[in-house]
């Protein structure tokens, strides 16, 4: 290119916007559904105050109070009759004691893991990757069940308000999961402050109901419901508590009540979301969340005990809806308040389901990053969400809803097993951490964490036994299979990484002294000529064209066409017999023969003619991939497919490229600048100081400029060359290159970071550059 300082070449210009291919039809549909793609540099999380963090992160946990007490009654009433209401309160007390112990254990988790401290991270750091996969499987199953059970319980709240909608139960649950999936694929953030509203709305409504209920109890006006309503669960006969059958029923009721504790780990998973000091704010929020959960569970159980609220076979009306309706009454205020309570219940249950759409994709991202799940789960999608994880979660939730017919009672059988497995591993993991470090009150930490792990392990055993026939068997069978699968995937990834590891004798890419190129020829056409042209650019020692003869007449036609083609006159055509018509075998044999010497490397070029979709596959065979696959396994042999779009030429279509700005490279962009005074000559002194930041499109050649933009490219010189670093920055108006001589890196500089630079504007290859500028990295 002519140099601007030696001849009449055009004035150098700033870098122009890149050209973009016109969107395909599928991508257009995707953009219409999900919105425009988000820039990855906008990725980040907002810091949350305690009040917002409580509302956002505790919705899953607090919403469990809507059905925990009901699940206890479902197990007790058929076995103990009306005595179940008396047993309910001691059973709730046991659940609250366990809540306190697990809360103290997770307080220790937050103190140690100040960024993220879920059961998977705790298990991985203290027991190693194998045990961590047990935690991963348990949490994954827990999150999948959470989507199903919270959505089903939320729909149950709707049906309790409008019983005529019971026939549409399954479609409504699937619609809820679909809406949550769609919203999260569009990039709805869990940290969005709107998600704090359902938690406070629900807690506020329930406290109003509890306050009115206490007043009615004190005034003696609280109604006791009939226990013989049609559709209610059958009430059994009361019998002793010390028989084997009674103990089994009590254990099953206790296991059902354990579902009230789901979601306790949410605070420890999201410590990094809190404002500083993160661990202090997270601990306080954890205690408030546990206190609210305990109060709500205790309140629901106590009022269910007082009014004899009966669970129903169909799941509706729910116990919590009966409590609200009985307490607030049937007046105008009562009807309004009842609808508000049901609305609050529905919203917090759906919000609780939504929290898993952040937690599950993040968990599988951790597991996949460690190599135990497919790497596709680590990739962010169109809107910067982990789209594959979201789809996997929603698919699992839909399967469970269809498998259990949307029954909350049946879904609970899958629920607490995974939850308490996570509690167990987190408790024992923190016990081991305390024993290893022995800092502070380590003996108290060992006691609390060991107690939490032991109780959780005991609950897991109870749940596995008493819920085995109700669905727990599926978890017990699936979990070991998944763990073994995860470990098998890790071994496969490890094997592949070891195969791709660069060994010492392979570090020098120039060790091969002779490079030959052979082009496999099937016909003499523009695709073959293009492949030969590309082969010449590789500068081979020998360039040969090879045709495997499976049809003598065709081979003769190719030979004649080759001889009269001016474009191919300098390339030798070799005809090789292929009597069995197995082209892949013949190509493999040829490659082996040509690389018998250890100093020879062979590149085989295979022109591939791309035809239109279905009709092209019907009319033409596709042999290039069949030939390339076995050849690529040979040492010192590279099979390269050279694509050629026949369909584009046949249809006379051109590749459509959309330019954001159609600016000629020879013409600098016109800047809209207000001129204060006319420039009368070109002999004004060059300034060595630029006071204000200038738009990149307005910088001038041989003038000093201060620019600011986002780093889009970083290029450093190879180790064997003189140290140089070239950085490309862009703002809304254009781009410019910054060249730093004598260095290969700048500490803290990353692609996507913001940078301000000042220096003299020069030129290289027709584009403006700033040489050795002073700079500032912006946060």
pLDDT value of residue 270: 75
Bigger pLDDT: 296 vs 24: 296
Average the pLDDT over each of 108-117, 265-274, 580-589, 675-684 and give the range with the smallest value.
675-684
Q: How confident is the model at residue 233 (pLDDT cuts 50, 70, 90)?
A: confident
Mean pLDDT of 441-464: 89
Share of the chain above pLDDT 90, in %: 23
Assess contact for 84 and 304: CB atoms under 8 A: no
User: Rounded CA gap, 591 and 631, in Å?
Assistant: 7
Q: Which of 109-113, 164-168, 169-173 has the highest mean pLDDT?
A: 169-173
Q: For domain 9-38+688-778, which architecture applies? A: Beta Barrel (2.40)
Q: Which residues contact 657 (CB under 8 A, 6 or more apart)?
A: 19, 20, 21, 22
pLDDT at 274 over 60: yes
b/e sequence 249-263, b meaning 16+ C-beta within 10 Å: bbbbbbbbbbbbbbb
pLDDT value of residue 758: 93
Bigger pLDDT: 677 vs 588: 588
Strand, coil or helix: 603: strand
For residue 352, which of 62, 54, 53 has the smallest C-alpha distance? Answer: 62
Q: What is the pLDDT of residues 194-208, one digit of tens each?
A: 677 888 999 999 999
Angle at 266 between CA 261 and CA 270, to 5 degrees: 165
Share of the chain above pLDDT 70, in %: 85
Q: What is the pLDDT of residues 92-105, one digit of tens each?
A: 999 899 999 999 99
For residue 185, which of 73, 313, 35, 324 has the smallest C-alpha distance? Answer: 35
Mean pLDDT of 135-158: 89
pLDDT value of residue 508: 57
User: Rounded CA gap, 153 and 394, in Å?
Assistant: 16
Q: What is the pLDDT of residues 426-449, one digit of tens each?
A: 999 999 999 988 887 889 999 999
pLDDT value of residue 664: 40
pLDDT at 40 over 70: no
pLDDT value of residue 617: 53
Task: Dihedral sign for Cα 293, 180, 425, 75, please.
Answer: positive
> Both tokens of residue 272?
């990094």
Angle at 554 between CA 553 and CA 560, to 5 degrees: 90
| Domain boundaries 46-490, corresponding CATH code | 1.20.1740.10
Q: What is the pLDDT of residues 375-398, one digit of tens each?
A: 889 888 877 778 899 999 999 999
Bigger pLDDT: 400 vs 653: 400
pLDDT at 295 over 90: yes
Categorise residue 653: left if φ over 0, alpha if ψ from -120 to 50, beta otherwise. beta
Residue position matching structure tokens 């609950």: 459
Average pLDDT, the chain: 82
For residue 715, which of 699, 729, 701 has the smallest C-alpha distance? Answer: 729
Average the pLDDT over each of 265-269, 326-330, 347-351 and give the range with the smallest value.
265-269
Bigger pLDDT: 107 vs 681: 107
Assess contact for 768 and 13: CB atoms under 8 A: yes
The three state secondary structure string of 387-419 is: HHHHHHHHHHHHHHHHHHCCCHHHHHHHHHHHH
Q: What is the pLDDT of residues 168-177, one digit of tens each?
A: 899 999 999 9
Beta strands in 655-773 (DSSP E): 657-659, 704-716, 724-730, 735-741, 754-764, 767-771
Mean pLDDT of 138-147: 88
User: What are 758's strand-pairing partners?
Assistant: 706, 774
CATH H-level superfamily of 512-649: HUPs (3.40.50.620)
Q: What is the CA radius of gyration of the chain?
A: 35
pLDDT at 135 over 60: yes
> Both tokens of residue 363?
């968990």
Angle at 592 between CA 588 and CA 597, to 5 degrees: 165
User: Rounded CA gap, 611 and 617, in Å?
Assistant: 7
Strand, coil or helix: 45: coil
Q: How confident is the model at residue 58 (pLDDT cuts 50, 70, 90)?
A: confident
pLDDT at 29 over 60: yes
Assess contact for 165 and 159: CB atoms under 8 A: yes
Which residue ranges make up each domain of the chain? 9-38+688-778, 46-490, 512-649
pLDDT at 314 over 80: no
User: Rounded CA gap, 278 and 111, in Å?
Assistant: 10
> Both tokens of residue 99?
């809540």
pLDDT value of residue 682: 38
pLDDT value of residue 667: 40
pLDDT value of residue 622: 60
Bigger pLDDT: 663 vs 423: 423
Exposure of 224 by Cβ count < 10 A (0-12 exposed, 13-18 middle, 19+ buried)? Answer: exposed
For residue 53, which of 199, 167, 238 has the smallest C-alpha distance? Answer: 199
Which strand (E) or helix (H) includes residue 638?
Answer: strand 637-645
Mean pLDDT of 664-691: 39
DSSP tag of 661: S
User: Rounded CA gap, 467 and 461, in Å?
Assistant: 10
Q: Which residues contact 315 (CB under 8 A, 6 or more apart)?
A: 152, 156, 159, 407, 408, 409
Strand, coil or helix: 282: helix
pLDDT value of residue 1: 46
Bigger pLDDT: 165 vs 612: 165
> Both tokens of residue 216?
């009615």
For residue 709, which of 691, 725, 696, 723 has the smallest C-alpha distance? Answer: 696
Assess contact for 633 and 570: CB atoms under 8 A: no
For residue 147, which of 185, 187, 177, 111 has the smallest C-alpha distance? Answer: 177
Query: What's phi and psi for 542, nearest 5 deg?
Result: -130, 135
Residue position matching structure tokens 């112990």: 101
Q: Which of 33-37, 421-425, 578-582 has the highest mean pLDDT?
A: 421-425
Average the pLDDT over each of 138-152, 448-462, 500-514, 753-767 and give the range with the smallest value.
500-514
pLDDT at 488 over 60: yes
Residue position matching structure tokens 């002294």: 513
pLDDT value of residue 726: 92
């Amino acid at each position: 290119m002519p140099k601007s300082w030696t001849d009449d070449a055009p004035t150098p210009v700033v870098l122009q916007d890149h050209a973009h291919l016109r969107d395909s039809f599928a991508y257009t549909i995707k953009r219409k559904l999900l919105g425009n793609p988000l820039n990855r540099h906008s990725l980040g999380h907002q810091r949350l105050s305690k009040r917002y963090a409580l509302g956002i992160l505790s919705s899953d946990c607090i919403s469990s109070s809507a059905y925990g007490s009901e699940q206890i009654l479902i197990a007790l009433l058929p076995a103990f009759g009306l005595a179940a209401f008396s047993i309910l309160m001691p059973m709730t007390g046991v659940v609250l004691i366990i809540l306190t112990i697990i809360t103290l254990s997770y307080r220790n988790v937050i103190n140690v893991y100040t960024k993220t401290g879920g059961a998977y991270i705790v298990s991985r750091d203290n027991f190693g990757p194998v045990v961590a996969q047990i935690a991963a499987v348990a949490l994954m199953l827990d999150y999948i069940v959470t989507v199903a059970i919270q959505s089903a319980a939320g729909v149950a709240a709707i049906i309790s308000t409008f019983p005529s909608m019971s026939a549409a139960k399954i479609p409504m649950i699937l619609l809820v999961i679909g809406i949550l999936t769609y919203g999260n694929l569009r990039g709805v953030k869990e940290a969005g402050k709107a998600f704090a509203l359902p938690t406070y709305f629900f807690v506020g409504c329930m406290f109003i109901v509890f306050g009115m209920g206490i007043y009615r109890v004190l005034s003696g006006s609280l109604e006791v419901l009939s226990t013989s309503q049609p559709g209610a669960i059958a009430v059994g006969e009361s019998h002793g508590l010390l028989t084997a059958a009674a103990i089994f029923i009590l254990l099953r009721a206790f296991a059902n009540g354990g579902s009230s504790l789901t979601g306790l780990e949410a605070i420890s998973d999201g410590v990094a979301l809190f404002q500083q000091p993160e661990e202090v704010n997270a601990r306080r929020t954890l205690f408030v969340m546990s206190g609210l959960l305990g109060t709500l569970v205790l309140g629901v159980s106590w009022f269910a005990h007082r009014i004899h609220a009966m669970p129903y076979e169909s799941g509706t009306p729910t116990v919590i809806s009966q409590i609200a309706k009985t307490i607030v009454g049937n007046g105008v205020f009562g009807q309004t308040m009842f609808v508000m309570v049901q609305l609050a219940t529905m919203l917090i249950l759906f919000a609780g389901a939504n929290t898993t759409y952040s937690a599950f994709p993040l968990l599988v991202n951790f597991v996949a990053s460690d190599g135990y799940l497919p790497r596709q789960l680590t990739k962010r999608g169109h809107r910067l969400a982990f789209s594959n994880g979201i789809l996997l979660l929603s698919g699992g939730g839909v399967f469970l809803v269809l498998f259990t017919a949307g029954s909350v009672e049946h879904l609970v059988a899958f629920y607490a097993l995974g939850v308490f497995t996570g509690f167990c591993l987190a408790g024992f993991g923190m016990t081991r951490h305390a024993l290893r470090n022995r800092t502070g009150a380590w003996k108290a930490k060992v006691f609390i964490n060991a107690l939490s792990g032991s109780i959780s392990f005991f609950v897991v055993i109870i749940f596995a036994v008493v819920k085995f026939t109700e669905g727990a068997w599926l978890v017990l069978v699936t979990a070991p299979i998944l763990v073994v699968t995860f470990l098998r995937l890790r071994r496969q990834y490890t094997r592949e990484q070891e195969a791709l590891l660069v060994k010492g004798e392979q570090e020098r890419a120039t060790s091969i002294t002779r490079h030959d190129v052979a082009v496999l020829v099937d016909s003499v056409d523009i695709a073959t000529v293009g492949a030969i042209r590309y082969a010449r650019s590789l500068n081979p020692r020998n360039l040969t064209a090879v045709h495997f003869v499976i049809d003598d007449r065709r081979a003769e036609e190719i030979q004649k066409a080759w001889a009269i083609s001016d474009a191919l006159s300098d390339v030798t055509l070799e005809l090789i017999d292929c009597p069995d018509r197995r082209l892949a075998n013949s190509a493999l044999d040829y490659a082996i023969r040509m690389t018998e010497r250890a100093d020879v490397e062979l590149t085989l070029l295979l022109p591939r003619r791309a035809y239109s979709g279905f009709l092209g596959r019907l009319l033409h065979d596709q042999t290039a991939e069949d030939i390339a696959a076995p050849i690529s396994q040979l040492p010192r042999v590279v099979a390269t497919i050279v694509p050629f779009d026949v369909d584009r030429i046949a249809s006379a279509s051109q590749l459509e490229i959309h330019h954001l700005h159609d600016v000629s490279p020879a013409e600098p962009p016109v800047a809209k600048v207000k001129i204060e005074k006319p420039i009368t000559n070109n002999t004004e002194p060059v300034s060595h100081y630029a006071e204000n930041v200038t738009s990149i499109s307005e910088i001038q050649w041989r003038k000093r400029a201060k620019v600011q933009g986002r780093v889009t490219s970083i290029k450093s010189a190879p180790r064997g060359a003189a140290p140089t670093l070239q950085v490309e920055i862009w703002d809304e108006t254009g781009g410019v290159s910054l060249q730093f001589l004598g260095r290969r890196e700048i500490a803290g500089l990353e692609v996507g970071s913001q940078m301000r630079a000042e220096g003299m504007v020069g030129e290289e290859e027709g584009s403006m550059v700033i040489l050795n500028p002073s700079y500032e990295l912006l946060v």
